[in-house]
Amino acid sequence: MNWAISAGPVVPVLIGAFLVAALVSLLATPSIRRYVRQHRILDHPDPRRVHDRPLPRAGGIAVVIAFVIVGGTLALIRDSLPGVALARPLPDGQLLGLFGGAILATVLGVLDDMLDLRARWQFLGQLVLAAVAILAGITVPFIGNPFGPGNIPFIAPVGIAFTVVWIVGMINSLNFIDGLDGLSSGIALIAALTLGVLSLTVQVNQPLVAVLCFVLAGGLLGFLRWNFHPAVIFQGSAGVMFLGYTLAVLAILGSAKVVVALLVLAVPIVDTFWVIVRRVRAGRSPFSPDRSHIHHLLLGLGLSHRSTVLLIYAVCATLGLMSLFVSSTTGVIAFVGALVVLGLVAFVLRRGPSEAAS
């Protein structure tokens, strides 16, 4: 892998940002937990969930606080950060779109945590978030050519449409995989670290994006102390909406490395794809809840809660590591392979012991 010249000077900033964000999130989560419990913002057990008692929602706000405070401060002083000041800058409008959209995503998620909004209203909110990013100048101008060297440029309307699908798809992928303690938080942590490392390569050379990715990863690590099995708080829609939007935008700001993000997030994206296909084929709404996700099927196979989460972590980490070394062509092939393999695995598991559970 070719590293950017600025990688050396920025490393202390990355480590410090990661640790401070982790500490902020770690300390903020208990206070948020007490508040949401007092206001009865709870996730209650039901046939499709695996927890057996009401647990507080909206814990993802702790990650938001860490990202906005630590990441926002570093973004404001970016011209004085070692290894960042001389790199290719990010426009102020795009940074405003990142942080403003992240806060708006959290607000929309909190409303869902409090009011249990219908799927159509959640979808409308996701379209609004995509519009915020586009108005801030955050669009996908190109993707890596999966059939050879270079990039495939998008004309403006296609780039805008792709951006909408990308942001909405990312939010829903994390939402659909958010079914076990610490699962979506850990996957997002792996994705943030991968995108952060990728942003330091010569081809991308976006150390500020790397710093923000490490801030996000640190906030998630601090929150995982409370969210990993057995969880005492869930991130809720507040966390899922924020994470989906923020990861999608960071992938775009990191020179539109969409193929890499597709690969590192292949498990939730592919799981979402096959779940929607099965629901539509059964004549149901794509957003109707059930127990047909890959984590439910693994539980039905006999894996423990922690083993299932750790197994999916391992797959995502492996794909994330692979994404740092492969070309766009190889990345697309690997993603298509994951699409086929996960679909076959889900089919086999559904024919086995987990059939009754789904």
CB 163 within 8 A of CB 139: yes
pLDDT by 10-residue block (mean), the chain, 358 residues: 56 95 98 93 70 83 98 94 79 96 97 90 96 95 68 87 94 88 94 90 83 97 95 94 96 73 80 80 74 75 88 88 69 66 66 43
User: What's residue 1's pLDDT?
Assistant: 46
- Return the pLDDT at 90: 87
Q: CB 178: neighbour CB atoms within 10 A?
A: 25
Residue-level pLDDT at 88:
72
Q: What does the pLDDT read at residue 15?
A: 95
d(CA 358, CA 354): 6
pLDDT at 111: 95
pLDDT of 199 reads 87
DSSP string, 116-170: ---HHHHHHHHHHHHHHHHHTT----EEE-TTSSSEEE--HHHHHHHHHHHHHHH
pLDDT value of residue 38:
92
- What pLDDT was estimated at residue 246? 97
